[in-house]
Amino acid sequence: YARLVAEHTPGSRVAVLYQNDDYGREYLRSFKAELARLDPKAEIVAASPYEVTSPTVDSQVVGLASTNANVFLNASTGKFTSQAIRKAGELGWHAQQFLPIGSNFVPTILKPAGLENAKGAISATPTKSVGDPEWANDPAYLEWLAFMKKYYPEGDIEDQLNFTGWNVAVLMTRVIEACGDDLSRQNLMKQATALNNLALPGLIPGITVNSSPDDYRLITSLRPQRFDGERWVPMSGALAAQ
């Protein structure tokens, strides 16, 4: 996201909403460090934390909006993301908003916030988005729908996490199959840390899983996307971690 900010809105004034825990603080730290490296003229003018036990983040968003920042890094989760998007819209604060990977789901996050309020937001993803016409005829996506109908008919096929869970299960199956008859912990770790350009049905084509004994990160590329008021539209090809 820092790379996108530096490229598309250089010299920006950034306001950040973040969760007051390791997740949120690391989001802020990493973004701040990378933005300073890529665009020294950019400035983080305000950063407001919230607690996961808080009922709302309205007051934080009001404070951030008062800075007139032109970029809003909404590094929040779940209902807080919806609240922040909705409140920014109510305030008429039209900063370029960036949303985390786990907080960009249209049915469960953006609809409660008001789709119009989320229009123009930027996020990124390694996975196909459920319900998106881009994947309507994709064989792997259709395979997941068939799986849901057979094994989890009561499950919500608009819930991205159901799709993600299936994709993770496919990965675990591949690892177990690679173990052969040796299902010891040692061999499981050996196979799990030796994945090389493994394609998974839920990943966007071109994004693969890789791992090594020295690097447990499975996915290091994401495709940037912009919300057009109805769906996420790809902005470019995948960006790899630097």
3-state percent breakdown (helix, strand, coil) of the chain, nearest 5 = 45, 20, 40
Cα(200)–Cα(216) distance, integer angstroms: 17
Q: Please report how many Cα atoms fall inside a 13 Å half-sphere around the Cα of residue 85, on the Cβ side.
A: 33
Q: What is the pTM of this model?
A: 0.90
pLDDT for 154: 97
Question: If residue 151 lies in a helix (H) or strand (E), which one and from where to where?
Answer: helix 139-151
For 188, residues 6+ apart whose C-beta sits below 8 A from its C-beta are 175, 176, 179
Which amino acid, residue 168?
V
> Cα–Cα distance between 50 and 105 in angstroms, integer?
21
User: Which tens digits make up the pLDDT trace of 1-34?
Assistant: 999 999 989 999 999 999 999 999 999 999 999 9
pLDDT for 236 equals 76
Type of residue numbered 72: F
Predicted pLDDT of residue 239 = 75
The pLDDT of residue 242:
59
Provide the residue type at 135 as one letter. W
pLDDT in tens, 217-234: 999 999 999 999 999 999
Q: Half-sphere exposure (CA, 13 Å, Cβ side) for 214? A: 0
**Domains contained in the chain, CATH given:** 2-126+220-240 (3.40.50.2300), 128-218 (no CATH)
- CB atoms < 10 A from the CB of 82, how many? 21
Nearest residue to 44 via CA among 70, 65, 64, 14 = 14
* Residues of the chain where predicted confidence (pLDDT) is lower than 50: none
Check: CB of residue 13 under 8 Å from CB of residue 43: yes
